[in-house]
């Protein structure tokens, strides 16, 4: 069977977060070949007409979709599965509608709130008044971009008046790659829960906590861009993923597992996904983001969670394909 491994085109001089998709292309292609498929990597640019023509000529049996952005724009991520729907080519992972809804963090948060799933209070740039503003710490986030683009200690601000937020968000737009919003900062523990499709529905893999080792007093505990991508930074070496928990954490982990499955069901996810949480000092979990088609690189959280669950990468890829 011929399989296209679809990914965003990576330009010369791209940053490490953009280049990471090529690592995923390589490891996924090798896993596909080991399972008897004929993989071919195809990049996606803004030239959609050429892509449609190319895919029509290749006539793949299905596409393994690794597109995270197009032309460096996370807001275009849903275009890849939309084009595949148009061409009636099956593809892995979440469908176009789910990709769009979860990639737009404001739409995702609205759906979570409407369905009784706790997500931190937010205020959008140019949006209606929140109506429940409270002075305190806020984190300024991109609406569309992922991989912690533009997220650092300068993104966390003490805000006393709601009217101040418009000016703050305007000043952060460029570094965040466009539209942004302010979210109440949950100063607590951070968890990632990876989900993988199975014969009886989604399986939640081993929960992971992101631990901030030896962070000095006053240093904001966030998983920012440096923690993920800058190997010479303090954050990169002191932001650690852990799968070890004391027994008294078991009720919390069970609650996080239940919430992750509810997110899968709410957005009609497929294949694989990851849900990011913060847990406040009272033990209340807050859903930060729902990630469709999360990173599959060997140093990424999904790969680590699968290993912890005693799954080989080939088994992961097979289960993703089985959920087409």
13: its two tokens = 């001089």
CB 194 within 8 A of CB 204: yes
Per-residue model confidence (pLDDT) at position 147: 58
pLDDT tens digits, residue range 101-131? 999 999 999 999 999 999 999 988 665 555 5
CB 69 within 8 A of CB 8: yes
Torsion of CA 305, 309, 313, 318, to 10 degrees: -110
Residues 6+ away with beta carbon under 8 Å from 49: none
pLDDT tens digits, residue range 77-104? 999 999 999 999 999 999 999 999 999 9
DSSP string over 17-84:
HHHHHHHHHHHHHHHHHHTT-EEEEEEE-S-HHHHHHHHHHH--SEEEE----BTTBGGGTTHHHHHH
pLDDT tens digits, residue range 189-216? 999 999 999 999 999 999 999 999 999 9
Is the pLDDT score of 24 beyond 90?
yes
Per-residue model confidence (pLDDT) at position 127: 58
Per-residue model confidence (pLDDT) at position 263: 98
């Amino acid at each position: 069977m011929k399989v296209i491994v679809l990914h965003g085109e990576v330009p010369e001089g791209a940053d490490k977060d953009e280049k990471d998709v090529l690592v995923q292309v390589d490891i996924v292609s090798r896993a596909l070949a080991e399972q008897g498929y004929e993989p071919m990597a195809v990049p996606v640019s803004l030239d959609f007409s050429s892509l449609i023509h190319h895919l029509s000529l290749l006539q793949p049996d299905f596409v393994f979709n690794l597109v995270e952005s197009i032309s460096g724009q996370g807001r275009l991520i849903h275009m890849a599965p939309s084009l595949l729907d148009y061409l009636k080519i099956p593809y892995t992972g979440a469908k176009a509608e789910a990709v769009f809804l979860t990639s737009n963090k404001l739409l995702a948060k609205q759906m979570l709130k409407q369905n009784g799933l706790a997500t931190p209070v937010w205020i959008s740039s140019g949006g209606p008044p929140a109506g429940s503003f409270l002075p305190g710490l806020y984190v300024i986030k991109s609406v569309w971009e992922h991989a912690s683009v533009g997220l650092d200690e300068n993104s966390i601000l003490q805000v006393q008046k709601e009217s101040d937020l418009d000016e703050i968000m305007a000043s952060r737009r460029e570094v965040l790659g466009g539209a942004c919003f302010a979210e109440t900062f949950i100063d607590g523990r951070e968890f990632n829960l990876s989900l993988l499709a199975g014969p009886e529905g989604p399986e939640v893999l081993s929960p992971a906590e992101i631990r901030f080792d030896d962070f000095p007093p006053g240093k904001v505990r966030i998983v920012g861009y440096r923690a993920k991508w800058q190997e010479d930074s303090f954050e990169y070496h002191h932001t650690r993923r852990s799968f070890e928990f004391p027994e008294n954490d078991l009720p919390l982990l069970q609650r996080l597992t239940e919430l992750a499955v509810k997110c899968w069901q709410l957005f009609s996810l497929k294949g694989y996904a990851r849900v990011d949480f913060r847990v406040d000092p009272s033990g209340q979990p807050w859903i930060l983001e729902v990630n469709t088609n999360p990173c599959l690189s060997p140093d990424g959280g999904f790969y680590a969670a699968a290993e912890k669950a005693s799954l080989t990468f080939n088994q992961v890829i097979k289960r993703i394909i089985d959920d087409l």
